[in-house]
Copies of this chain bind each other. A is one copy, B any other.
Amino acid sequence: MKVALIGLGSVGRGVAEMLAKKDLGLVLTGIADSKSAFMDPAGIDIARVLAHKKKNGSCGDQNLTAEDIIKKADYDALIEVTPTNALSGEPAIGYMKAALNRKKHVVTSNKGPIALAQKELRAMARKKGVALRYEATVAGAIPVMHTLEHGLAGNEILALYGVLNGTCNYILTRMAAEGLTYEQALLEAREMGYAEADPTYDVQGIDAAIKLVILANTIWDNGVKLGDVDRTGIDLLTPDALRLADEEGCTIRLIAEANPKKHLLRVSPRILDKNHPLVFEGTLNALTLETDMAKEITLIGRGAGSIETASAIIGDLLYIRDRYVERA
């Protein structure tokens, strides 16, 4: 199966490295970063392109763009991993539509477009007879979408709750363990590379809310939007709040939860017993699915990271390869 890769940040680099390293039957025929692009229908020498990018800051020909690759390259599946834009979803939404229009499968890690335009993109993929897969948009390496699609097939999903932002979990872990203030723990998270220079999206619960919207639409197809999420961040939490929780054998975690029957769609700091399955340290993510037959299933794993996110993308690509391309 031939694939084209749009975006060469941390995730894109991880995907490219794994395509080069592993014998997965996936041939890279097009690649683009924000400044340049390169295509070769016979298969790109990934090591050479990555070395070029490292040396010159761009991966290919500066007269070519991502659009050129998407519209002209010879590929079966587009891997769209450009930086996310939660407000407009662009340019990624346009990229995906262009690929779907050419009847190309699309795999993305891009949260903004899927939170904003999941219904439209899914309908477009269905109409064109191709796949739109976005395992990597929620909880990094944890195969949430595959679990919903296959592992729990036949189950009704009644509700879900989870820790969907590793940065917040790290900050809360450190506030509880060392009695740090929010500001101190945030500074530490930045030094560790767990928080962005502008941490707003993480600490105000926006990132978790975006993932919650993606999950809710995937499971219940209920057309919820980011603005529908009842959202409280962790940036106003005091060490006293954590100390009081601790005295009761509890701690505080930023929990995303959805329960359509209770009209619940919320991201907020919650007091949990320390033995609760969603209480763990560090930057991990977790999700509990409440179902009618399997009852509660909890998945825990890495919510971010270059290779970890590549794992989710490659899982989607191999699924498409087995399901569509080999049978074509």
Instruction: Using CB atoms, name the residue of chain B closest to A149.
Output: B150
Give bound CA distance, A294 to B306, whole Å.
10
Determine if B143 and A150 form an interchain contact, defined as CB atoms under 8 angstroms apart. yes
The contact of A294 among B22, B275, B280, B301, by CB within 8 Å, is B301
Determine if A294 and B311 form an interchain contact, defined as CB atoms under 8 angstroms apart. yes
**CB neighbours of A146 from chain B (8 A):** 146-147, 150-151
Cβ of A318 < 8 Å from any Cβ of B? yes
Question: Closest Cβ of chain B: how far from A21's Cβ, in Å?
Answer: 9
Give how many copies assemble into the complex.
2
Give bound CA distance, A312 to B318, whole Å.
23
Cβ of A199 < 8 Å from any Cβ of B? no
Interface range on chain A (Cβ under 8 Å from partner) = 35 or more
Determine if A297 and B18 form an interchain contact, defined as CB atoms under 8 angstroms apart. no
Cβ of A154 < 8 Å from any Cβ of B? yes
Question: Closest Cβ of chain B: how far from A204's Cβ, in Å?
Answer: 28
Cβ of A164 < 8 Å from any Cβ of B? no
Query: Which of A296, A298, A307 is most buried by chain B, counting CB atoms within 10 A of its CB?
Result: A298
Instruction: Using CB atoms, name the residue of chain B closest to A327.
Output: B327
Cβ of A314 < 8 Å from any Cβ of B? yes
Determine if A314 and B153 form an interchain contact, defined as CB atoms under 8 angstroms apart. yes
Question: Closest Cβ of chain B: how far from A299's Cβ, in Å?
Answer: 6
Query: Which of A152, A153, A277 is most buried by chain B, counting CB atoms within 10 A of its CB?
Result: A153
Known pairs A294-B311, A298-B300; list 17 more (Cβ under 8 Å): A22-B154, A141-B297, A142-B297, A147-B151, A150-B150, A152-B311, A153-B315, A154-B314, A155-B311, A277-B300, A291-B311, A293-B310, A293-B311, A293-B314, A297-B300, A298-B301, A299-B299
A interface, CB within 8 angstroms of B: 18, 22, 24, 135, 141-143, 146-147, 149-155, 275, 277, 280-281, 291, 293-302, 305, 307-308, 310-312, 314-315, 317-319, 327
Please list the 4 inter-chain residue pairs (A to B) with the smallest Cβ-Cβ separation, ordered nearest first.
A143-B151, A293-B311, A141-B294, A146-B151
* Interface CB pairs A-B, < 8 A, 26: A22-B154, A135-B151, A141-B294, A142-B294, A143-B147, A143-B294, A146-B147, A146-B150, A147-B147, A150-B315, A151-B151, A152-B315, A153-B314, A153-B319, A154-B318, A275-B281, A291-B311, A293-B311, A294-B302, A295-B301, A296-B302, A297-B299, A298-B300, A298-B301, A299-B300, A300-B300
